[in-house]
Amino acid sequence: MSLESNKIAAAVLMAGVIAMTSGFIAGILVHPHALKESVYKVEGVESAAAAAPAAPAVLAPVAPLLASADVAAGEAQSKKCVACHTFNQGGPNRVGPNLWDIVGAKHAHAQGFAYSDAIKSKPGDWTYEDLNAFLASPRAYAPGTKMAFAGLPKAEDRAALIAYLRTLSGSPKPLP
């Protein structure tokens, strides 16, 4: 072998050694960490990794709170829903179905909305207590629901919101 080709071989070898060593050192110096949870959070919207909130064993009925519930406060609560729902008569379905006249409507009431089986298989109508349970914890009420909303933990907030939903109707259902 000529001296020239020896030099070339040595250079190639050296380049390889440098590449390997720097990769090795970089691995020691930098420890990438995967984020444990998403940094950007939307209020009320659960991350996929979040565990289902433990539902209270027994949910107190909302009926006794409805008569004195604050409809204006309920309208304010509904701001947590507008990312996914419209509330006006004839409003479009978005991520979730339009919610006009939802109190007393049958489960999966909106035309043309692709509901989960979890909601479709619920028998009967949306009573006040159904809405109370669903809004307290959608996943506890309807395991497998597509509604990615953690729930409203406070009974007063749910009562106010349900009282507001009741007003969204041509003929609001009687209070219980």
Binding site for ligand HEC (CB under 6 A): 44-45, 80-81, 83-85, 95-97, 99, 102, 107-110, 115-116, 118-119, 135, 145-149, 152, 161
Q: What residues contact residue 95 under an 8 Å CB cut-off, 6+ apart? A: 83, 84, 85
CB of 22 to ligand HEC, least distance (A): 46
- Is 75:164 a contact under the CB 8 Å cutoff? yes
Report in angstroms how near the CB of residue 108 gets to ligand HEC at its nearest: 5
* CA 114 – CA 96 distance, rounded (Å): 9
CA distances from 144 to 10, 52, 86, 135 (A): 63, 11, 22, 15
**137 versus 145: smaller Cβ distance to ligand HEC:** 145
In order of 20, 76, 93, 174, the CA distances from 89 in angstroms are 67, 19, 11, 19
Name which of 2 and 40 has its Cβ closer to ligand HEC. Answer: 40
Nearer to ligand HEC, 65 or 152 (CB): 152
Of 61 and 116, CB closest to ligand HEC: 116
- Give the CB-side neighbour count of residue 81, counting CA atoms within 13 A: 26
Q: How far is the CB of 32 from ligand HEC (least distance, A)?
A: 31
Nearer CB in complex with ligand HEC: 7/106: 106
Give the C-alpha separation, 169 to 165, whole Å. 8
What minimum distance in Å lies between the beta carbon of 112 and ligand HEC?
11
Shortest CB 86 distance to ligand HEC, Å: 11
